[in-house]
């Protein structure tokens, strides 16, 4: 069966929006039938939906079973980077693991500096001047240190705020957050490599 002809401007946006990882896996598994029956964009969207569901769903299930924060908001943008733009330096395992670690340390350090390690979360009691200082300090330090250590990973900015706003503050849980990041990173390595993407095991090679 011949695929329907593309409209004049139909393909150009697709190359901008379509993640390379999607095409790699689809081509490797030779899902020709789907590509011949449905629009390419629909196939890519379906793949991204399934992939996101499985990776984040598995961590959420682990969180439910262990009653620990194996899933948290900043994993969402990290997963998006992994599976939509895996070749960007910010999506490399090194940037991801170091970036979130820096965010965790800066978030908890801001709590220690402001005496809020045992305070209830801001979402329950509101924001006071010390909480404002903790949030601003944690994000400022996270951004500065990620630049200094050449480990920029934007989602880590959300991780540090999760901590400095008091949503997650127990040291044991902070370690679990980093373990969750590592688990998601391992999934990204496996999926991207399976897709034929030149995804680094640790850091992106310099050209």
CA angle 105, 109, 113 (to 5 degrees): 175
Asked if 89 contacts 95 with a C-beta cutoff of 8 angstroms, the reply is yes
pLDDT per position as a tens digit, 162-197? 999 999 999 999 999 999 999 999 999 998 888 777
Q: Is the pLDDT of residue 4 over 70?
A: no
For the CA atoms of 120, 121, 124, 129, what is the dihedral angle to 10 degrees?
90
Question: Can you give the pLDDT at residue 22?
Answer: 63
Asked if 111 contacts 169 with a C-beta cutoff of 8 angstroms, the reply is yes
Question: Can you give the pLDDT at residue 134?
Answer: 98
Q: Is the pLDDT of residue 5 over 60?
A: no
**Domain-by-domain residue ranges, the chain?**
11-194
Crossing angle (nearest 10°) for helices 20-28 and 75-84: 60
pLDDT per position as a tens digit, 133-154? 999 999 999 999 999 999 999 9
CA 192 to CA 69: how far, in whole Å? 25
The number of CA neighbours under 13 Å toward the Cβ of 168 is 24
DSSP string, 142-153: HHHHHHHTT---
Q: Is the pLDDT of residue 96 over 80?
A: yes
pLDDT per position as a tens digit, 13-61? 444 445 566 666 666 554 445 656 777 777 667 767 877 898 999 999 9
CA 53 to CA 190: how far, in whole Å? 16
Asked if 147 contacts 39 with a C-beta cutoff of 8 angstroms, the reply is no
Q: Which residue has the higher pLDDT, 86 or 156?
A: 156
Global pTM reads 0.82
């Amino acid at each position: 069966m011949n695929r329907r002809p593309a409209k004049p401007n139909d393909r150009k946006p697709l190359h901008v929006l379509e993640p390379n990882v999607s095409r790699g896996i689809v081509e490797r598994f030779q899902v020709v039938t789907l590509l011949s029956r449905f629009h390419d964009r629909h196939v890519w969207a379906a793949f991204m939906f399934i992939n996101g569901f499985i990776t984040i769903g598995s961590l959420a299930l682990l969180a439910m079973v262990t009653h620990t924060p194996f899933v948290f908001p900043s994993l969402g943008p990290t997963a998006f980077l992994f599976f939509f733009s895996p070749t960007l330096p910010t999506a490399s395992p090194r940037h991801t693991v170091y970036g979130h670690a820096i965010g965790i340390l800066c978030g908890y350090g801001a709590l220690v500096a402001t005496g809020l390690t045992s305070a209830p979360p801001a979402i329950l009691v509101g924001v006071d001047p010390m909480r404002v200082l903790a949030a601003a300090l944690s994000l400022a330090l996270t951004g500065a240190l990620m630049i200094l250590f050449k480990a920029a990973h934007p989602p880590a900015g959300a991780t540090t705020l999760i901590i400095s706003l008091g949503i997650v503050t127990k040291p044991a849980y902070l370690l679990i957050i980093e373990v969750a990041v590592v688990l998601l990173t391992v999934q990204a390595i496996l999926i991207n490599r399976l897709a034929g993407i030149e995804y680094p095991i640790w850091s992106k090679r310099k050209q």
